[in-house]
Amino acid sequence: MSDIDLQQVLGSRYKTSLEADGYTDQMRQHLALETKAQVARLAIGRSLAMGKLPDGAIDGQGRDIPATSLFSTENVGAWVGLLVAHSLTNGGPVIDSMDGLRLAIRAHWHRGALSLWADWKACEENYDKFIETLVERRSDMPEVVRKKPGAQDNGGDEQEGTAAPEDASATLTKALNELGIKVQVKDAIHGPRITRYRVLLLNLADSAKLERNMPQLGLAMNSALPTVANGDEAKTVFIDLPRPKATWKTVGIERLREWAHSGSRDPSQLMVYAGVSVTGEDIGFDLASAPHLLVGGTTGSGKSVCLHSLLLSLLLRHTPDTLQLALIDPKQVEFQPYAKLPNLYRGEIATEIPVAKEMLTELAVEMDARYGIFNRIGVNNIVEARRKGQAMPYIVVFIEEMADLVMQDKNIEPLIARLAQKARAAGIHLVLATQRPDAKTFSGLIRSNIPSRIALTVQRGSESSIILDETGAENLLGAGDMLMRLSGESPKRAHGVFVRLESVIQAVGALMK
Ligand SMILES: Nc1ncnc2c1ncn2[C@@H]1O[C@H](COP(=O)(O)OP(=O)(O)OP(=O)(O)O)[C@@H](O)[C@H]1O
């Protein structure tokens, strides 16, 4: 166990066999649970209550899930302890490294999922009977399982955690003291997921040491990785400490609506709402000056939710006369709620590669035509053209899974690069999303022309570097936690708005009335 670092455990992803993954998915649906991780926890808990794991390798072909959905900062130590204790008592994968831990999780999840599935069948797929069996077996049963399928939560996208955030100033002072850093905590602000402590350094020479010791501080505080930044007074720093998930407050569509209705409707701006800062203030920005945006993050990090919030921000402040949306979605499903909008460029969503290519080609033609008009009427850009009475909507191109497009047709990348280089003045802006940020998909040419970036959680620092040009996104908390770097600015942390698909459908429906 000596080589296992809990921060690393929380920063990794875990999977099981293909077979157990299938059962996990099915059980999630039958139990009306929100995530696969909830079933995986039940399964691992079930298997830990059983004896020695059977011999034989388990394939690792299931889809992986992030540790942050499986464990929390509060309980990760207990789970790792249970897994190690099981292996020491019963034999099985030796857990003295991250690889050993991954194998143990894979095997317990596999055995537990098969066992849960067998119980489900033995209960003749009867929900109540199955829950009774779970209780009898005293497995780890998350609260949500007790909700019957179809039971309602409060219905809104805005959610309060089940626990109130605690002021950990005293523990923080003690932990820093033990690291040899003398401080006085001045005050604390509870943001939606993070508490920001304003800390006076009693010895200014300790500031580099403080920065170096963030992982140790995280362990001492039993939290995900804290961060430190210069404070607002001499000798002070801000220490941002992520809190347990039960204390999070989710920012919902209501907040986005308020923002959209209160701000300016200047048609020469493409204001979008990204979410809130760590201390809870609204963060919006003008996509027209961004002028193009890359959104990257691993699967399940909140990318689609982020794209929906950007789309809704635009739609809430614009009409089809001032804004058109060119939607490209090789995944085929994400943009369906927008399929009937009058704002849709070409009146369709491009889900097939040839159609996407046609759409991008047409956008390049449109761009050139707009430059032709600018020449003719003696202006340089869309804002001036509009002032001279030209009816010319902005066009925002959203590409969901850029990697799929670029890998499948080598002629697509040059088209995107050309738009990225030249389309801004013509009022055409790009939002490119990917779950596979790598240098092959995002060539230097495209990256240098897409100056604004949003990084959601990624698996590796190298992926963070592709998106942001620096590491950091590998330490995010998941579920819409993001680092934003807008053109010419330094990265700042934000928590995205959570919009459920039902809310998107409802909001789009209301726009069409
Ligand atoms: N801003 C947010 N606040 C709270 N939870 C969020 C937020 N964004 C996403 N989530 C949670 O994360 C889940 C996954 O989000 P989403 O579907 O956007 O991920 P994704 O990165 O698009 O994944 P995939 O690539 O697999 O589609 C959501 O169902 C929700 O539970």
Q: For residue 186, what are the contacts with CB-CB under 8 A and spacing of at least 6? A: 198, 199, 200, 236
Give the separation between CA 494 and CA 481, rounded to whole angstroms: 6
Give the separation between CA 129 and CA 142, rounded to whole angstroms: 17
17 is in an annotated binding site: no
479 Cβ below 6 A of ligand 1: yes
297 is in an annotated binding site: yes
Q: Which CATH fold would you assign to the domain 169-247? A: Threonyl-tRNA Synthetase; Chain A, domain 2 (3.30.980)
Q: Which residue has the tokens 């203030």?
A: 281
295 Cβ below 6 A of ligand 1: no
Per-residue tens of pLDDT for the chain, all 513 residues: 446 788 889 999 999 999 999 999 999 888 877 788 889 988 998 888 788 888 888 899 999 999 888 888 777 887 888 888 888 878 777 888 999 999 999 999 999 999 999 989 888 888 777 876 665 564 443 333 333 343 334 445 666 666 778 889 999 999 999 999 999 999 999 999 999 999 999 998 899 999 998 888 888 888 888 999 999 888 999 999 999 888 999 999 999 999 988 877 777 789 999 999 999 999 999 999 999 999 999 988 999 999 999 999 999 999 999 999 999 998 878 899 999 999 999 999 999 999 999 999 999 999 999 999 999 999 999 999 999 999 999 999 999 999 989 989 989 999 999 999 999 999 999 999 999 888 888 888 888 899 999 999 998 899 999 999 999 999 899 999 999 999 888 899 999 999 988 899 989 998 887
Domain chopping of the chain, boundaries = 6-151, 169-247, 251-512
Give the separation between CA 135 and CA 171, rounded to whole angstroms: 37
435 Cβ below 6 A of ligand 1: yes
Q: Which residue has the tokens 């963030």?
A: 214
Give the separation between CA 223 and CA 491, rounded to whole angstroms: 22
297 Cβ below 6 A of ligand 1: yes
Atom of ligand 1 nearest to the CA of 456: 21
Q: What is the amino acid identity at position 393? A: P
Most ligand 1 atoms within 8 A of CB, residue of 498, 500, 504 to mutate:
498
455 and 302 Cβ atoms separated by less than 8 Å:
no
In 186-289, where does DSSP find H-type helix?
A: 207-212, 214-221, 253-262
319 is in an annotated binding site: no
Ligand 1, atom 23, lies closest to the CA of 300
The verdict on domain 251-512 having CATH code 3.40.50.720 is no
303 Cβ below 6 A of ligand 1: yes
77 is in an annotated binding site: no
Q: What is the amino acid identity at position 368? A: D
296 Cβ below 6 A of ligand 1: no
pTM, rounded to two decimals: 0.71
69-73, long-range: CB < 8 A, 24+ apart = 69/35, 69/36, 69/37, 69/300, 69/478, 70/14, 70/37, 70/40, 70/41, 71/9, 71/10, 72/244, 72/245, 72/246, 73/10, 73/222, 73/223, 73/224, 73/242, 73/244
Q: ipTM more than 0.90?
A: yes
